[in-house]
Chain A
Amino acid sequence: MQYQELNPGRGYLSSLPTNLHFGLGTARQADSVRIIWPDNTTQLLSNVAANQQLSVDYAGGAFTPSSPLPKSTLLSQKKGIIGYKHEEAGINDFKRQPLMLFMYSKTGPVFTKGDVNNDGLEDLYIGSDYSKPGRIFVQQPSGAFAINNNTVLDQPDGPTTADAAFFDANGDGFADLYIARGGYALFEPNTSSLQDALYINDGKGNLVLSPQALPDLSACSKSCVRPCDVDNDGDIDLFVGGRVIPGKYPVTPPSWLLINNGKGEFSASPLPVKGMVTDAQWADIDKDGRKDLLLCGEFMPVTLYLNKPDGFSDKTSEYFEQMPKGCWFSLTLADVNGDGQDDIIAGNLGLNTPFHVSEKEPAELYYADFDGNGSVDPFFNCYIQGVSYPFVSRDELNDQIYPMRRKFSSYRHYADATMKDIFPPDELAKAARMSITDLRSFCFVNRDGKFSASPLPLEAQFSVITKTIADDFDHDGKTDLLLLGNHSDNRLKLGSIDASYGCLLKGDGSGNFTYVPPAASGFSLAGDVKSAGELTIKNEKHIMIGVNNAGIFLYKVQ
């Protein structure tokens, strides 16, 4: 079967030819030619002879819809409940480090749910943005949300909120709030703008900063905070993932395990985590009654740290038959095959990128202060026709290392240059290296204590997956997945990765998924998804999605 799409409109004052050419090889005719028009009606021509130009008119032929439209969709958008608009500051991180692949400033909107006044209704924290402070939105019995004016959690256009979590820090039965600081902008490591904050609930639903509760966590920008009773002592401890050190990408940032003394005071405990962490989850993988740590990040594998009384150790290779290094953005736990065990949905960069990677031809990142001028020089490399070339253009190289103007005095000289041509062996030897061997998003299914990797369907690879919601959306008793993502603020040469409008995958109960088109799912949402979760409003289940520089959107689950 051959498939071609025609869309003559392209660019300003330009057009594409309106003829499509199908090569039939030695065949004398095509059995059938099916035309699907923009209004989703189809036209079927059969036994069409080869070697001719076929003119097809929209008005001619008999029309039947390509697929029957569903009577009702699985999800439906609900408007006006929270009515939150998100405003981004519009900072360009590439002014600070031009050779990064992505910007790190844009983390919002961040929200998390919890019941702050113990009335049985789920309330929300929504983080600050460019023009608004962070606030608590208290759910009313009517299903409306009222802002708690006694609690202002962070200032507009101030430090960036990267993640937040409600949990009971001091064991008083009321939800307290941890806010993880992140972003990039002009923040300097080891300054207060990167210090996380713990707010303690006063028992009336107001949150008050507990300034001495946390150790110094300002060395880097964070990505996630995941509460869990790590040591089974009855209080809630925390994992805090380090995302990037502003100004020092891609130097490995620290991540922290914060141990609670039972009174809501935390001390840092060593953790062997290495990498730019984007997400983490707690799950008891080895069934020893202690929750183990799963995490993922840029230029690293999804990694499993088993939690033992004597500490955490990396046991990824023992539990995963195959674990590629990816540019992972999200980890979600769900039981996709109904065996009662946690499976893992791992969101990656996807296949809709200008570079391609494999185990044999990985994308590599070299970094060092090559020219000794005090700035980190990161060089991303990827394979083109069997040779690994630097991703940087000559202009970008010259902008990063001024003396390179001498090394490559023309574009022609630079055209075929590899890392070995740019740097002498001794300088290259001092560079640290990281790699990516797979860009696909995966489902890792736990079968008898070991995880087998299966890539998600092609439609799931169209874009970055930054959030996944697992639920039985079609009520067939099997877990389905709603994949959300996009990442627009990328290096110009990489381009915006924004092909996802949300991707609903129907599960078959054994770990396989099929794509549900938007017409049937009822879900279509453009933009960069930064946060997502399920929220119960008036006893009805909703999906809540935060889109950067747009707002927070609600979908009702039918």
Chain B
Amino acid sequence: MRKWFLGLFLLCQVGYAQQPAADFRDHVQPAVFALTMVMLHDVVNPPAASRFYAYSLAGAYEIVAINNRGIARGSSFMKSSPHVVINAKPGSYNYRIAALYCILETGRLMLPSGFMLEEHQEKLLKTLKKEKVKTAVIDSAVAVAKAVALQVVNWSKSDNYGRLSTRLRYTPVKGEAYWYPTPPAYMEAVEPHWKIIRPMIIDTCDEFTPLPPVPFSRDTTSEFYALSKEVYAVSLHPSQEELNIASFWDCNPFAVSTAGHMAIGFKKITPGGHWMNIAGIAAEKAGLDFDRSVLVHTLTAMAETDAFISCWDEKYRSNRIRPETFINRYIDIKWKPLLQTPPFPEYTSGHSVMSTAAARVLTYLLGDHFAFTDDSEVMFEIPARSFSSFMQAANEAAISRLYGGIHYRDAIENGQDQGKKIGDRIVEKLKKAGLQPLIP
């Protein structure tokens, strides 16, 4: 089948237009968003996207931590850290410019279409010059950034990403209980071996194995049938609010729409990309300075990365059938879910695990009742939504998968539990490393 890639490029360069504060805090979110736009172009899948965010921010975080004694080095809470060494003495270079540039430089070196970030790098330097930053200051910071980015890339090579292609390609497990490629594109399973990727902060992929899923059954009186029936029933008479919630948290990087022989891919930001945006919105609303903004972005990215590794480990352990497949086989042959079923096994719900893990970390850093308005999906013509807390947003993201018809309730609830445990373990490690909440 021919794929027609239709990118929805509504370039929202939020930060650059504004007059930046002296500490460059307003440049952090646009730099991360630049990564998002490249990943949108490349159709990076959700687990891979989280990994790219984490590595792209890890060098910036280390630069900040080396220069700000109030911020713990990664090695004090990470499973493995890049052990960044900067030859220039602290104070001899502008570390914030270096950190900013390092985000783009690491992304440039690692992302498939990383070259697209060169434009952002040039734009950043131009803006800095406009802000009367001396060329020598820029040059020394860029040199530090490039050296650190190389160290990060080198460190990334030991995380088993390169070994994914040495694994046996996935074959759907035989049997009616198991996942099978879903309409309309019947894409092959995404990242079946992702569990081999080294986590950022948690110890192992199976440290937080969720409860086993409700066992498969076709029996109409069974618990599993009831779960399927619930997905089906919700889809028949959805409320407007349920529809809004489902589409707001869709976050499918490549939904394929077919018309005859033509297939068009509609791109969106991944779940991880969505939460990177939330981190940016929160950092701005909280008025965090540059260093703390980098910290919030980095820890969100690392929580996402670990959540996906843990979730993907379970997905290919249980290999559970998607509601679309079950409902089409046993309830209604013509049923289509509201959202397009993503191409990987059902249990647990990735968005539930990841959103909850990220929300737990953000809650620790910025507080329990941090209200915010999330306009991340406005670029896809989906209106902003307001939340009273990170956990409220995460809970909504989780249940959105039921409204969208792509997950059973137990995959959502047990996924939330899995995400909570991951987030809590990360918070525990941060506390041990002496990282205090940013808003006491």
Q: In this complex, what residue of B is CB-closest to A369? A: B166
Give chain A residues whose Cβ lies under 8 Å from the Cβ of B168: 95-96, 186
Q: Does A78 contact B (CB under 8 A)?
A: no
Give chain B residues whose Cβ lies under 8 Å from the Cβ of A96: 168-169
Give chain B residues whose Cβ lies under 8 Å from the Cβ of A405: 42, 112
Q: A405-B42, A406-B111 are in contact. Are A375 and B165 (CB under 8 A)?
A: yes
Q: Does B91 contact A (CB under 8 A)?
A: no
Which of B63-71, B156-164, B230-238 forms part of the interface with chain A?
B156-164
Q: Does B115 contact A (CB under 8 A)?
A: yes
Name the interface residues of A79-132: CB closer than 8 Å to any CB of B.
Answer: 92, 94-96, 98
Q: Does A372 contact B (CB under 8 A)?
A: yes
Q: Is the CB of B165 within 8 A of A399?
A: yes
Q: In this complex, what residue of A is CB-closest to B115? A: A409
Name the interface residues of B113-169: CB closer than 8 Å to any CB of A.
Answer: 113-115, 161-166, 168-169
Q: In this complex, what residue of A is CB-closest to B169? A: A95
Q: Does A35 contact B (CB under 8 A)?
A: no
A46 to B170, CA, bound (A): 62
A95 to B169, CA, bound (A): 4
Q: Does B18 contact A (CB under 8 A)?
A: no
A242 → chain B closest CB, angstroms: 23
Q: Which of B114, B165, B170 contacts A402 (CB 8 A)?
A: B165
Q: Is the CB of B171 within 8 A of A406?
A: no
B236 → chain A closest CB, angstroms: 35
Q: Which of A92, A95, A374, A403 contacts B166 (CB 8 A)?
A: A374
Q: Which of A92, A98, A402 contacts B171 (CB 8 A)?
A: A92
B269 → chain A closest CB, angstroms: 19
Give chain A residues whose Cβ lies under 8 Å from the Cβ of B171: 92, 95
Q: Is the CB of B169 within 8 A of A402?
A: no
Q: In this complex, what residue of B is CB-closest to A372? A: B162
Q: Is the CB of B112 within 8 A of A373?
A: no
Give chain A residues whose Cβ lies under 8 Å from the Cβ of B163: 373-375
Q: Does A371 contact B (CB under 8 A)?
A: yes
Q: Is the CB of A409 within 8 A of B112?
A: yes
Give chain A residues whose Cβ lies under 8 Å from the Cβ of B162: 371-373, 402-403
Q: Which of B161, B163, B164, B165 has the most CB of A within 10 A?
A: B165
Q: Does A36 contact B (CB under 8 A)?
A: no
Name the interface residues of A394-415: CB closer than 8 Å to any CB of B.
Answer: 399-403, 405-406, 409
A193 to B307, CA, bound (A): 39
Q: Is the CB of A406 within 8 A of B114?
A: yes
Q: Is the CB of A402 within 8 A of B166?
A: no
B367 → chain A closest CB, angstroms: 39
B141 → chain A closest CB, angstroms: 25
Chain B proximity mask over A346-382: 1 for CB below 8 Å, otherwise 0:
0000000000000000000000000111110000000
Q: Is the CB of A406 within 8 A of B112?
A: yes
Give chain B residues whose Cβ lies under 8 Å from the Cβ of A98: 169
A374 to B163, CA, bound (A): 7
B149 → chain A closest CB, angstroms: 14
Q: Is the CB of A373 within 8 A of B165?
A: yes
A372 to B110, CA, bound (A): 17
Name the interface residues of B82-131: CB closer than 8 Å to any CB of A.
Answer: 110-115
A423 → chain B closest CB, angstroms: 15
Q: Is the CB of A402 within 8 A of B111?
A: no
Q: In this complex, what residue of B is CB-closest to A406? A: B112
Chain B proximity mask over A449-478: 1 for CB below 8 Å, otherwise 0:
000000000000000000000000000000
Chain B proximity mask over A180-202: 1 for CB below 8 Å, otherwise 0:
00000010000000000000000
Give chain B residues whose Cβ lies under 8 Å from the Cβ of A372: 162
Q: Is the CB of B169 within 8 A of A373?
A: no
Chain A proximity mask over B57-85: 1 for CB below 8 Å, otherwise 0:
00000000000000000000000000000
A94 to B171, CA, bound (A): 11
A402 to B164, CA, bound (A): 8
A456 to B110, CA, bound (A): 53
B25 → chain A closest CB, angstroms: 31
Give chain B residues whose Cβ lies under 8 Å from the Cβ of A400: 165
Chain A proximity mask over B168-205: 1 for CB below 8 Å, otherwise 0:
11110000000000000000000000000000000000
A405 to B39, CA, bound (A): 12
Q: In this complex, what residue of A is CB-closest to B110? A: A406
Give chain A residues whose Cβ lies under 8 Å from the Cβ of B110: 406
Give chain B residues whose Cβ lies under 8 Å from the Cβ of A373: 162-163, 165-166
Q: In this complex, what residue of A is CB-closest to B160? A: A373
Name the interface residues of A15-35: CB closer than 8 Å to any CB of B.
Answer: none
Chain A proximity mask over B22-47: 1 for CB below 8 Å, otherwise 0:
00000000000000000000100000
Give chain A residues whose Cβ lies under 8 Å from the Cβ of B166: 373-375
A409 to B169, CA, bound (A): 23
Q: Is the CB of B111 within 8 A of A401?
A: no
Give chain A residues whose Cβ lies under 8 Å from the Cβ of B170: 95
Q: Which of A96, A399, A401, A406 has the most CB of B within 10 A?
A: A406
A489 → chain B closest CB, angstroms: 16
Q: Which of A92, A371, A401, A409 contacts B113 (CB 8 A)?
A: A409
Give chain A residues whose Cβ lies under 8 Å from the Cβ of B161: 402
Give chain A residues whose Cβ lies under 8 Å from the Cβ of B112: 405-406, 409
B181 → chain A closest CB, angstroms: 15
A406 → chain B closest CB, angstroms: 5
B262 → chain A closest CB, angstroms: 17
A97 → chain B closest CB, angstroms: 9
Q: Which of B110, B161, B168, B171 has the most CB of A within 10 A?
A: B168
A223 to B431, CA, bound (A): 62
B99 → chain A closest CB, angstroms: 23
Chain B proximity mask over A222-242: 1 for CB below 8 Å, otherwise 0:
000000000000000000000
B212 → chain A closest CB, angstroms: 27
B302 → chain A closest CB, angstroms: 21
B113 → chain A closest CB, angstroms: 4
Give chain B residues whose Cβ lies under 8 Å from the Cβ of A186: 168
Give chain B residues whose Cβ lies under 8 Å from the Cβ of A409: 42, 112-113, 115
B153 → chain A closest CB, angstroms: 10
Give chain B residues whose Cβ lies under 8 Å from the Cβ of A401: 165
B355 → chain A closest CB, angstroms: 27
Give chain A residues whose Cβ lies under 8 Å from the Cβ of B165: 373, 375, 399-402
A84 to B303, CA, bound (A): 59
A100 → chain B closest CB, angstroms: 12
A6 to B165, CA, bound (A): 46
Q: In this complex, what residue of B is CB-closest to A94? A: B169
B159 → chain A closest CB, angstroms: 12
Give chain A residues whose Cβ lies under 8 Å from the Cβ of B114: 406
A405 to B45, CA, bound (A): 13
A89 → chain B closest CB, angstroms: 13
A402 to B111, CA, bound (A): 11
A186 to B114, CA, bound (A): 37
B23 → chain A closest CB, angstroms: 33
A183 → chain B closest CB, angstroms: 16
B318 → chain A closest CB, angstroms: 21
B316 → chain A closest CB, angstroms: 15
Chain B proximity mask over A241-256: 1 for CB below 8 Å, otherwise 0:
0000000000000000
B322 → chain A closest CB, angstroms: 22
Q: In this complex, what residue of A is CB-closest to B166? A: A375
B361 → chain A closest CB, angstroms: 28
A92 → chain B closest CB, angstroms: 7
A406 to B112, CA, bound (A): 4
Residues of A with Cβ closer than 8 Å to B?
Answer: 92, 94-96, 98, 186, 371-375, 399-403, 405-406, 409
**Other contacts beyond A186-B168, A402-B161, A402-B165: 20, CB < 8 A:** A92-B171, A94-B169, A95-B170, A95-B171, A96-B168, A96-B169, A374-B163, A374-B166, A375-B165, A400-B165, A401-B165, A402-B162, A403-B162, A405-B42, A405-B112, A406-B111, A406-B112, A406-B113, A409-B112, A409-B115
> Could you write out 13 A-B pairs with CB less than 8 Å apart?
A94-B169, A95-B169, A186-B168, A372-B162, A373-B165, A373-B166, A399-B165, A400-B165, A402-B161, A402-B164, A403-B162, A406-B111, A409-B42
10 nearest CB pairs, A to B: A405-B112, A375-B166, A95-B169, A373-B162, A409-B113, A373-B163, A406-B112, A374-B166, A95-B168, A96-B168
